[in-house]
Amino acid sequence: MLDRLEKLEKEIKEIGRQLNNFREKSKKDLQKVGMVRFNPFNEIGGDQSFSLAVLDENNDGFVVTSHYGREANRVYAKPVKKGSSNYSLSKEEKEAIDNALNK
């Protein structure tokens, strides 16, 4: 019985170690998402443009913006570090990041 308890104790410690490793690795997983749909051009309706922010536990990630127009669709991506970016952000990109941070 004592041998069995010692074996179980070792297994529990190993499971605890694996769980701690999983928790550390999951901090880098993309966990927070915020999206804003908008209409940047007067001639096109339907809020077909959007900004999408995707962040991890440390509020690092990216924001992608798509401007939909009749003649073209433009897509921009900007890195996000600690909830902000070194690149200038549009009002919609800031709102998408705020949405991700507050979920």
pLDDT interval class at 44 (50, 70, 90): low
Whether residue 96 sits in one domain with residue 81: yes
Mean pLDDT, the chain, integer:
92
Closest C-alpha among 66, 64, 67 to residue 30: 64
Q: Is residue 24 located within the same domain as residue 59?
A: no
Same domain, 25 and 41: no
User: 53-98, pLDDT tens digit by residue?
Assistant: 999 999 999 999 999 887 888 999 999 999 999 999 999 999 999 9
Looking at the predicted structure, is the pLDDT value of residue 42 above 80?
no
Q: Which domain holds residue 84?
A: 32-101
The 3-state DSSP class for residue 102 equals: coil
Q: How many domains does the chain have?
A: 2
pTM for the model stands at 0.77
Flag the least confident range among 1-15, 41-55, 86-100.
41-55
Verify that 16 and 36 share a domain, yes or no: no
Same domain, 15 and 50: no
User: CA-CA distances (angstroms) from residue 38 to 5, 11, 14, 81, 92?
Assistant: 61, 53, 50, 24, 8
Provide the pLDDT for residue 74.
93
The structure tokens listed for 54 are 């995707």
In 3D space, the residue among 65, 63, 66 whose CA is nearest the CA of residue 97 turns out to be 63
**CA 80, 91, 96, 67 torsion: positive or negative?**
negative
Q: How far apart are CA 91 and CA 49, in angstroms?
A: 13
* 49 in the same domain as 4: no
